[in-house]
């Protein structure tokens, strides 16, 4: 095998090439058929590897599906600090939404959720990859805005994160309305107007219950 | 069989009793095991009917699961017109959220979503029951508030509906944070502050793109 130091861009180690080929084929199969109908024999054949090779890295098709989806979603860029909360939140949501709106990712997530609700270990890994990491970015963006004095320190950050990601997941999973730019801008506008300090704010808002930490 | 007119409250027709027994047993099984693991033989035995009886009414376990879930969720009351948008929205969301937060309904939905994403006919029925009906209530509440002058006529109603229901579904499906009263009040507060007219509103908000009808 060639030296990694000289071939890092032109030729990847064979293991790495096989992994990438498997993940590519798996993602196409998932988008076309969903997790339940994904066939490991077909993935192995299309990727040019043995089924034993796949099972050496992924103990189940759900774990392979999770890795394939993760690699795709992580390609959506995040630019965390423009100095404007509105721009930061749009940058957080839009590239990812644009990516998932193009293909039937809802089908893939639905299949993985079936495993999430029956397998607690899988659920932990799934949430760490698909929820926690994106929530961490969003939380950082909101905390920067608090530090700049752009939004109040009492802002319910966890609730706000659900109000940014929840509507996107809702349309992705249920398919009742389009995941377009107008929708994302509307979500960001309503959230921002909802948490900005307001001169006409009623006292009841000022004393709203704080979140559980 | 007794006459329906005289027995409507004390004794239901036998068919109706069998239907209710099947739906009760199915719901318990769904909450305990999920759709994938629901066993029609076990449901028939526990409900005291033959499997043929079940299949006469429900062609698949997914359709039985959908009816069982629908009957349970529809028991969450909605009081649509208190004259206050905040109270109307809390009444819309809280009884339903309280119901679904008590048991593992996320498991049932995950199983049904697997069918939604592979079966377009099932998806239509599913959305009509679980999404459209609740969205219709929410839309009516928002339109009443517009008619009262409580919120602007330009309010992006479809986006607002996703910002009310999306966060609840998000926590239900992914289980990353509690579905409690503080959360629901926070969602309603942020949405209301986000769509209320504001004296300090920037011009860019006034000219925001309208939704596709």
pLDDT band at B12 (very low <50, low <70, confident <90, very high): low
pLDDT band at A36 (very low <50, low <70, confident <90, very high): confident
Answer whether A189 sits within 8 Å of B185, measured CB to CB: no
* Residues in Cβ contact with A15 at an 8 Å cutoff, skipping those fewer than 6 apart: none
What would the pLDDT profile of A143-202 be if each residue is shown by its tens digit?
Answer: 999 999 999 999 999 999 999 999 999 999 998 999 999 999 999 999 998 766 555 544
Please state, for a pLDDT cut of 90, what percent of chain A lies above it. 63
pLDDT score, position B10: 54
B window 34-73, beta carbon within 8 A of A: 34, 36-37
Which chain A residues have a beta carbon less than 8 Å from that of B201?
Answer: 193
Position A204 pLDDT exceeds 50: no
The closest of A187, A144, A68 to B190, measured between CA atoms, is A187
pLDDT band at B168 (very low <50, low <70, confident <90, very high): very high
Characterise B83 by phi-psi region: left (phi > 0), alpha (psi -120 to 50), beta (else).
left
Q: Does B10 touch chain A (CB under 8 A)?
A: no
What mean pLDDT, rounded, does chain B reach?
Answer: 85
Q: Which CATH superfamily is domain A4-64 in?
A: Homeodomain-like (1.10.10.60)
pLDDT band at B203 (very low <50, low <70, confident <90, very high): very low
Which chain B residues have a beta carbon less than 8 Å from that of A118?
Answer: 34, 36-37, 107
pLDDT score, position A11: 59
How much is the average pLDDT of B54-78? 91
Q: Does A182 touch chain B (CB under 8 A)?
A: yes
Q: Does A193 touch chain B (CB under 8 A)?
A: yes
Answer whether B117 sits within 8 Å of A104, measured CB to CB: yes
Please state the domain extents for chain B.
4-61, 76-206
The closest of A179, A149, A206 to B193, measured between CA atoms, is A206
How much is the average pLDDT of A101-108? 89
* Residues in Cβ contact with A52 at an 8 Å cutoff, skipping those fewer than 6 apart: none
Characterise A175 by phi-psi region: left (phi > 0), alpha (psi -120 to 50), beta (else).
left
Answer whether B36 sits within 8 Å of A192, measured CB to CB: no
pLDDT score, position A211: 54
pLDDT band at B211 (very low <50, low <70, confident <90, very high): low
Asked if B111 and A36 count as a contact pair (C-beta separation under 8 A), the reply is no
pLDDT score, position A212: 44
pLDDT score, position B201: 46
- Most confident stretch, B1-10, B74-83, B193-202: B74-83
**In 10 A of CB B46, how many CB atoms?**
16
What would the pLDDT profile of A37-90 be if each residue is shown by its tens digit?
Answer: 899 999 999 999 999 999 999 999 999 999 999 998 888 877 778 999 999 999
Position B161 pLDDT exceeds 90: yes
pLDDT score, position B147: 94
pLDDT band at B194 (very low <50, low <70, confident <90, very high): confident
What would the pLDDT profile of A16-28 be if each residue is shown by its tens digit?
Answer: 899 999 999 999 9
In angstroms, what separates the C-alpha of A184 from chain B's closest C-alpha?
9
Position B59 pLDDT exceeds 60: yes
Cα separation of A126 and B174, whole Å? 9
Asked if B145 and B85 count as a contact pair (C-beta separation under 8 A), the reply is yes
Instruction: Choose from B97, B154, B166, B209 for mutation: most chain A CBs within 10 A.
Output: B166
Asked if A191 and B160 count as a contact pair (C-beta separation under 8 A), the reply is no
> What is the C-alpha radius of gyration for chain B, rounded to an integer number of angstroms?
21
Question: Looking at the domain B76-206, which fold is it?
Answer: Tetracycline Repressor; domain 2 (1.10.357)
pLDDT score, position B118: 83
Answer whether A178 sits within 8 Å of B212, measured CB to CB: yes
* b (16+ CB within 10 A) / e for B126-143: bbebbbeebbebbeebbe
More confident residue, A70 or B79: A70
Cα separation of A84 and A92, whole Å? 12
Q: CA-based angle A88:A173:A133, to the nearest 5? A: 40
Which chain A residues have a beta carbon less than 8 Å from that of B175?
Answer: 116, 123, 127
DSSP string, B47-87: HTS-HHHHHHH-SSHHHHHHHHHHHHHTTS-----SS-HHH
Of B156, B177, B190, the CB nearest to A163: B190
Asked if B22 and B51 count as a contact pair (C-beta separation under 8 A), the reply is no
pLDDT band at B198 (very low <50, low <70, confident <90, very high): low
Answer whether A194 sits within 8 Å of B199, measured CB to CB: no
* Residues in Cβ contact with B213 at an 8 Å cutoff, skipping those fewer than 6 apart: none
DSSP string, B79-133: ---SS-HHHHHHHHHHHHHHHHHHTTHHHHHHHHHHHHTT-HHHHHHHIIIIIIH
Which chain A residues have a beta carbon less than 8 Å from that of B209?
Answer: 182, 185-186
Answer whether B159 sits within 8 Å of A169, measured CB to CB: no
Position B139 pLDDT exceeds 60: yes
DSSP label at residue B1 = -
Q: How many helices (H) and strands (E) does chain B have?
A: 12, 0
CATH number of the B4-61 domain: 1.10.10.60
Position A99 pLDDT exceeds 50: yes
* Residues in Cβ contact with B182 at an 8 Å cutoff, skipping those fewer than 6 apart: A209, A211, A212
pLDDT score, position B11: 59
Q: Does B124 touch chain A (CB under 8 A)?
A: no
How much is the average pLDDT of B119-138? 92
| ipTM score of complex | 0.84
């Amino acid at each position: 095998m060639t030296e990694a130091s000289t071939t890092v861009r032109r030729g990847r180690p064979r293991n790495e090439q096989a992994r990438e080929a498997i993940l590519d084929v798996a993602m196409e199969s998932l988008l076309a058929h969903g997790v339940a109908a994904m066939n490991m024999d077909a993935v192995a054949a299309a990727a040019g590897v043995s089924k034993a090779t796949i099972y050496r890295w992924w103990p189940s098709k759900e774990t392979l599906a999770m890795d394939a989806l993760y690699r795709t979603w992580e390609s959506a860029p995040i630019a965390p600090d423009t100095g404007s909360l509105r721009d930061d939140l749009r940058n957080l949501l839009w590239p990812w939404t644009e990516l998932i709106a193009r293909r039937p990712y809802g089908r893939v997530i639905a299949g993985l959720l079936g495993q999430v609700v029956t397998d607690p270990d899988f659920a932990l890994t799934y949430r760490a990859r698909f929820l926690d990491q994106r929530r961490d970015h969003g939380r950082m963006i909101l905390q920067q805005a608090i530090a700049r004095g752009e939004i109040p320190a009492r802002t319910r950050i966890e609730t706000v994160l659900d109000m940014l990601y929840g509507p996107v997941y809702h349309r992705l999973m249920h398919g009742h309305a389009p995941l377009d730019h107008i929708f994302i801008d509307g979500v960001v506008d309503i959230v921002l107007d909802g948490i900005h300090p307001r001169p006409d704010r009623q006292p009841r808002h000022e004393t709203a219950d704080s979140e559980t930490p």
